A and B are shown apart, each in its own frame.
Chain A
Amino acid sequence: MDNQDEIRKIQLVNQLDQLETISRFLDELAEAWDLSIPFVMKLNLVLEEAFTNIVNYGYQDNETHEIVLVFEKQNERLLVSLIDDAMPYDPTIAPDPDINLSAEERKIGGLGIFFIRKMMDKVSYQRMGSNNVLKMEKVINP
């Protein structure tokens, strides 16, 4: 397999219906890169949470914005970069939810970001010019 095959990119816009496009893209990726169903499910979850956050909270105008996902397969690791021009937001420093509270005390907020950090092996954030760049990494396992 030549190098070209190890990088895949998808360009999206800031609309929630793009979540279906992401899911379909991941299914294609699973086939091309031989990724297991549980692995892809986790990846889908992480990307849904990150993407939904950006679309729901990242923009103050009503314009269409581009959001880019880059997938890179490096041997046994998968690297994903999420690039958007929303307002600066660093999910790596968001506080963890208290997962030991009872149902009555529990609030749902913060769970999405928590999933990103828990499901991926490594998560890093950079503000580059007018872009947020979220880089995530996970060992490909069954």
Chain B
Amino acid sequence: MMNLNFTEVNNYKVVQIEGRIDTITAPDFESGIMNLMSDGVTKMIFDCTKLDYVSSSGLRVFLMAQKNISTNKGMLKVCCLQPSIKEIFDISGFSQIFTIEDSIEYASGS
């Protein structure tokens, strides 16, 4: 199960990801993010405080978002990874690709 909650902080669209992004839920995550992009959102924070699980299907969407936002000269920050999710980011080399912050305040520069 996965839920996305959207808020806004300092001109950043904050996407709070709750639950699991796996093969089953990744398409919903992708369409949620694609909707924001087609609305012209270029500054985003993925708040992963409540993200409990991510597989390669979910990471594919993270990468897609990063590529898309870079192309549009925007900014994507990933915030508040749980230790086991951080480990997956480290192993996959995603820790070098993404700007990872420890708090929403820091990520949004407020």
> Residues of A with Cβ closer than 8 Å to B?
16-17, 19-20, 37-38, 41-42, 44-45, 48-49, 52, 97, 99-104, 106, 108, 111-112, 114-115, 118-119
23 A-B contacts (beta carbon < 8 Å): A19-B24, A20-B24, A38-B83, A38-B84, A41-B52, A41-B53, A41-B84, A45-B55, A52-B23, A52-B55, A97-B93, A99-B91, A99-B92, A100-B93, A100-B96, A102-B97, A103-B70, A103-B97, A104-B70, A108-B60, A108-B63, A111-B92, A115-B92
**B24 contact from A16, A101, A115, Cβ within 8 A:** A16
Given A19-B22, A48-B22, A111-B59: A99 and B93 interface contact (C-beta under 8 Å):
yes
A-B residue pair count with CB separations less than 8 angstroms = 65
Q: Are A114 and B92 in contact (CB under 8 A)?
A: yes
| B55 surroundings in chain A (CB, below 8 A) | 45, 48-49, 52, 112, 115
* Chain B interface size, under 10 / 10 to 19 / 20 to 34 / 35 or more: 20 to 34
| A100 surroundings in chain B (CB, below 8 A) | 93, 96
Which chain B residues numbered 74 to 104 have a C-beta less than 8 Å away from chain A? 83-84, 88, 91-93, 96-98
Q: Smallest CB–CB gap between B49 and chain A, Å?
A: 16
Q: Smallest CB–CB gap between A16 and chain B, Å?
A: 6
| A44 surroundings in chain B (CB, below 8 A) | 53
How long is the Cα–Cα vector from A79 to B37 in the complex, in angstroms? 44
Q: Are A115 and B97 in contact (CB under 8 A)?
A: no
Q: Smallest CB–CB gap between B50 and chain A, Å?
A: 14
> Is residue B56 within 8 Å, beta carbon to beta carbon, of the partner chain?
yes
Most buried by B among A20, A99, A101, A103: A103
